[in-house]
Structures are given as C-alpha cells and as structure tokens.
Amino acid sequence: MTLEPDAAKIREMVARLREGVKRVIVGKDRVIDSAIVALLCRGHILVEDVPGIGKTTLSKALAQSLGCSFKRIQFTPDLMPTDILGVNFFNQKTSEFEFRPGPIFAQVVLADEINRATPRTQAALLEAMQERQATIDGVSIALPEPFVVIATQNPVEMEGTFPLPEAQLDRFMVNVEIGYPSPEEESDILLRFEEDSLPPDVDPVTSADELRTMQRAVSRVRVDDVVRGYVVSILRSTRGHEGLSLGASPRAGLALYKASQAAAAIDGRGFVTPDDVKAMAVRVLAHRLVLTSGSRLRGRTTAQTVEQVLSSTPVPIERRQA
C-alpha cells in the first residue's frame, strides 16, 4: 500500500515515539498508541490505574521522547493554585513586581495524582487545558506550544482524594488504563530491570517543531460525510441512553472526530473509516459520561455503555476513496 505523504511522515514519527517509550514500558501497545493519538490532536491525557502499574513511568517516557520542556507537579491536599500557575512578587532590588512562572509554563506537564489536590487547585488547570493560557492577577499569559497535560490518578484509593468534576474530565481527550502485564511481559520486566529498579532516561526522538507539523497534518486527514454522520449518531445515542444521566458533549464529539483522524494517520491512511471511530470511542467518550444510579447499582460501567451504543448504531457503508 502506498502511503500518502502526510500519513507516511506521521507513521514514521509515531514509530520513533513507540520505540522510545518501549525502552521503559513493556508491551501496552494500545495504551501507548492512545496517548500518541492525544498528542497528535493537541489533546490531554488521563492515565488511570492502581499504584505500581507504570502510570508515571509512561508519562515521563512520553515527555522525554518528545524532546519538549517538561515539568512534574506532585498533587497534594496542601497544593495551592499559585504553586501551579506562578506568582507575582516584589523585587526589592529593582523595586518592581516580577512574575515567577509556575510549572504550568512547560510544554509537557505531568500532574501526578491529580485527584489528591483540592477542587480549587484542580480548577487552576481548567483554563490552561482549554484556552492554553493562564491568568495571574488579571493578566492572561499564553502557554508554550505544544502544550499537553498528562494526569495520573488512582481509582481505587479514594480516602483523601477529590474526584475530578465532569467539567475537568471533559478536558481530557483520552482516558487510558494500563492494566496488569501478561505473564510474559511481567517476566520481561523482571529481567529488564533486575539490576536497576529505576527506569532509564529516554532520549528525545522528535522535536516540538516536528510535533506541531504532524498535528497540522492530522487535521488534514479526510472525513467523509457518512463517517461524520456516524460520529454524530453515536453522540446523540449517548444523550438519549436510558443508562446515562449525562451524555457526550459537543466537545466530546470534536475529540472523537479528531482522534479518529489521528488513528487513521497512525495506520498510514489519509482518510477516516468507521472502524477508526469505533476504535477510539471508548477511550474518548467513556470518562465523560455519567451513569444513572440504576446503572451503577447494576454494576454497569460507562465503557460498557459506549460499547452498547456502538453495537446499536448502524455502521455506514464506506465509499470507495479516491
């Protein structure tokens, strides 16, 4: 198959990113690809799983592979918004106020254990994630490009945590769960890190400029009218679903649309198919939906609900691509 020029370049860069991350992450191809999809769409990533699975390791490996400026914020109950955004202080030597930027002014920001901070501190990220700017003392300051937040949280240990509100969750393009390794992968982990428990640093395999170029290329991936209609049908089905009290927002629909473009590009195509949409639907939509109390009592999950929506939504017949 002959790849289109943009798709070929994207696929080559993605291969380099995969190789870099796999220096410290064993297996988990689907998880890595989901994170790369978000990066190509200028989206943010929520990594949710139990301790010791590799959430922080994956996040750091992605940041190091990108060759972008990187800051890590360890979220704790006593973290203040100024600890994230920065603060204006009076410089006695110059007799003037100066701005000391916080860690949010980096191209890749790791928000580790984000649900351990108070809602007020969590809200400090809202403007940054959506508007790509931060407002300090009434002055808005643009954030660097590219800008991506990679947040981690533990869904099991709830004591001393503050669950992310729907408005915050809606800012994350994808939610990925790493999961336990297979027996073969776990054996590989033991062998690979038997001499050093700390994962090695990852050398940059791309640059901020190349990533921005690839992000623009992804936006040019073609989406046929019938595929766009398929996305709309999925969104509308979630809004009327009996098991959901909150369906997918227009922002969620735009995220699914863009993620499908990135999935097609990663696969080496310059056009989106319904399979691309189906492949990304759970990862993009599930964390944004809210179950009814009856659904929760029956033990259902939002991921299962999205799968149900996909199975009941007619898949359009694809047109032959030119």
Task: Answer whether residue 198 shows pLDDT above 70.
Answer: no
Domain boundary among 193, 217, 241: 217
Arithmetic mean of pLDDT, 196-223:
84
Instruction: Classify residue 80 by burial, with Cβ atoms within 10 Å: 0-12, 13-18, 19+.
Output: middle
124, 87 Cβ separation under 8 angstroms: no
Residues 253, 297, single domain; the answer is: yes
Note the pLDDT of residue 65: 87
pTM: 0.86
CB neighbourhood size of 214 (10 A): 23
Side by side, the strands of the sheet bearing 70-74 are 70-74, 108-112, 148-153, 44-48, 172-176
Domain boundary among 217, 243, 277: 217
Residues 58, 95, single domain; the answer is: yes
- Return d(Cα 201, Cα 242) in angstroms, integer: 48
Q: How many domains does the chain have?
A: 2
Of 205 and 304, the structure prediction assigns the larger pLDDT to 304
- How does pLDDT run across 237-290, given as a tens digit for each residue? 999 899 999 999 999 999 999 999 999 999 888 899 999 999 999 999 999 999
Residues 132, 36, single domain; the answer is: yes
Classify residue 25: in a domain, yes or no: yes
Domain boundary among 165, 194, 217: 217
Residues 115, 250, single domain; the answer is: no
Task: Answer whether residue 44 shows pLDDT above 90.
Answer: yes
- How does pLDDT run across 53-76, given as a tens digit for each residue? 778 788 888 888 888 888 999 999
- How does pLDDT run across 114-133, given as a tens digit for each residue? 989 998 888 888 888 988 99
Arithmetic mean of pLDDT, 174-200:
80
239, 248 Cβ separation under 8 angstroms: yes
Residues 247, 164, single domain; the answer is: no
Note the pLDDT of residue 322: 43
Name the nearest CA neighbour of 173 among 100, 115, 80, 254: 254
CB neighbourhood size of 238 (10 A): 25
The CATH number that applies at residue 35 is 3.40.50.300
- Return d(Cα 200, Cα 193) in angstroms, integer: 9
The CATH number that applies at residue 268 is 1.10.8.80
Note the pLDDT of residue 5: 58
Residues 251, 203, single domain; the answer is: no
Classify residue 93: in a domain, yes or no: yes
Share of the chain above pLDDT 70, in %: 94
Residues 112, 256, single domain; the answer is: no
Residues 28, 53, single domain; the answer is: yes
- How does pLDDT run across 185-197, given as a tens digit for each residue? 888 888 877 766 6
- Return d(Cα 258, Cα 120) in angstroms, integer: 30
Torsion angle (degrees, nearest 10) of CA 228, 229, 232, 233: -140
DSSP character string of 89-114: EEETTTTEEEEEE-TTSSSEEEEETG
- How does pLDDT run across 134-164, given as a tens digit for each residue? 888 888 889 998 899 999 887 766 666 888 8
- Return d(Cα 105, Cα 98) in angstroms, integer: 16
Residues 182, 226, single domain; the answer is: no
- Return d(Cα 226, Cα 239) in angstroms, integer: 20
Of 63 and 318, the structure prediction assigns the larger pLDDT to 63
Q: What is the token pair recorded at 41?
A: 């769409």
Residues 168, 37, single domain; the answer is: yes
Share of the chain above pLDDT 90, in %: 38
Of 63 and 216, the structure prediction assigns the larger pLDDT to 216
Residues 36, 166, single domain; the answer is: yes
- Return d(Cα 289, Cα 295) in angstroms, integer: 12
Arithmetic mean of pLDDT, 312-321:
73
Residues 82, 26, single domain; the answer is: yes
Of 47 and 95, the structure prediction assigns the larger pLDDT to 47
Arithmetic mean of pLDDT, 40-58:
85
Per the structure, the complete domain to which residue 211 belongs is given by 1-217
- Return d(Cα 280, Cα 255) in angstroms, integer: 10
* Highest mean pLDDT (candidates 16-20, 124-128, 224-228): 224-228
Task: Answer whether residue 1 shows pLDDT above 60.
Answer: no
Phi, psi of 86 (to 5 degrees): 115, 180
Q: What is the token pair recorded at 180?
A: 């336990």
Classify residue 321: in a domain, yes or no: no
Residue labelled with tokens 């004591």? 159
Q: What is the token pair recorded at 10?
A: 């994207």
Note the pLDDT of residue 221: 92
Average per-residue pLDDT for the chain: 87
pLDDT band at 303 (very low <50, low <70, confident <90, very high): very high
Classify residue 322: in a domain, yes or no: no
Note the pLDDT of residue 160: 67
Task: Answer whether residue 178 shows pLDDT above 90.
Answer: no
